[in-house]
Structures are given as C-alpha cells and as structure tokens.
Structure 1
C-alpha cells in the first residue's frame, strides 16, 4: 500500500460512488456513504485517540466535488456540506482493500448507539 499510485479516479454519474484504479491494475469502487462516514477529517476522526465520531444518516449522500491535493491526495466535498476530508492515495487503497470490514464495523457502531444510516 505504501507505493499506491492512482491512474484513474472516476466519480459515477449519480455521484454516489468513486472508483479509483491504481498502477498495479487494482480498481476499487468506493461508495460515497463509506467515504463520508470514514472520512479522515478531524470532524469524523476527532483530534485524538477515542474521539472518533459515528456519523449517522448518510445513506444517500453524494460526492459534490473532488479536488487534487498536492501529489498525494484528493479532497472530497459531499452534498451534506462536509468538505474537510483529505483522502491520501494510501488511505483510498486501504479503503478499497478493507472497506467492507470497516463499513461493517461502522454499521455495528450505529446499531450499538441506536443510530441509523437513514
């Protein structure tokens, strides 16, 4: 994952997913909902250990815009106003490889807290 380098980043027409393809041929479709609720931003991750926020109600969120950030990342803006997540290539690769497990853990957190994706 250290040398992950994207060759293509594509937002779907309905803006509900982003597909990233890497130079080793691996391609990962990532839902806007997953990207939003697992955003690397301080708003979601907190400012230190144990401060992570479980973000409910994002099932229908869409990607509003994507802007390159240096050579290492893309900043995603969502239609709910969230736009402070800077997604590094390494983190996007990690989400592609382990996103199913991370999203399942998110759904479990929602259930434990009595929250919903809707």
Structure 2
C-alpha cells in the first residue's frame, strides 16, 4: 500500500490554517502553530533521540510560502523566519491523523516546562 498523497493544499492566511486533502478522502485543517511546533527540521527535532527542542511563543505564527519539494512533500516557510524541514506527504498525513493527541502532548509539555503558546513581549 502506498502512502496517502495530497489532492489539494490550501493556506487560509486569515485563520492561519493549512488545509490538506488526501487521496484517502481525508481532509485535515492544520493550524500553522501546530505545523511550526512539530516541524520535521533538525532545528526542532534534533539530530537524535532525546534532542527535540520544545518550541514556544508560536501562537500567532503564519505560513508565508509553500514550496514544492519534488513529488514527495513541501517546504513551509513561516513568518518567524523558520524555513527548514521538509514536510513529506507521510509527515503531513501523520500530523493530521494524530492531531488531537500530538497537540495535547505539546500543551502538556509546555505546561511542564512553564512555557507559553503566546509570544513573549
């Protein structure tokens, strides 16, 4: 079985949501903040187990550009300057499929670290 492939990707700038429809019939509405804090980049994920860097203060982040990467994914450029990490189709599908659990785990991690979603002034 091949990995799900997107049939449509729409950025809703005003609501800061990336909507991704897949050939499985599933459509996910992924907030830009969610995508940013779960970036597959080494800057966020680290270079090995236990090296992930908790992202915080990203509540108002938006995507400024979506650049295709071959036939397998996209590079999302965010307005906070983050522009590394390729979101493969399987990564986007996984983020959509497990959004509720991943988001709650992120919120729990923020709370445990005493960090906030809102940017520091």
Q: Which of the five TM-score ranges fits, normalised by the shorter chain?
A: over 0.9
Superposed counterparts of 1:1-118, under 5 Å: 2-14=2-14, 16-118=16-118
Moved over 2 A (4+): none
Does the residue aligned with 2:47 lie in a helix, a strand or coil? coil
Q: Can you list the C-alpha shifts for 1:35-93, whole angstroms capped at 9, x where unaligned?
A: 00000000100011100011010000000100000100000000000000210100101
TM-score normalised according to structure 1 size: 0.96
Query: Structure 1: how far apart are the matches of 2:13 and 2:56?
Result: 24
Query: Structure 1: how far apart are the matches of 2:111 and 2:5?
Result: 35
- State the number of aligned residues: 118
In structure 2, list runs of 5 or more residues that go unmatched: none
Q: Deviation of residue 2 (structure 1)? A: 4.6
In structure 1, list runs of 5 or more residues that go unmatched: none
Alpha carbons of structure 1 residues 115 and 2: separation in structure 2 relative to 1, 3 Å: farther
TM-score normalised according to structure 2 size: 0.93
Query: Structure 2: how far apart are the matches of 1:106 and 1:45?
Result: 13
Query: Structure 2: how far apart are the matches of 1:54 and 1:109?
Result: 8
Q: Deviation of residue 15 (structure 1)? A: 6.1
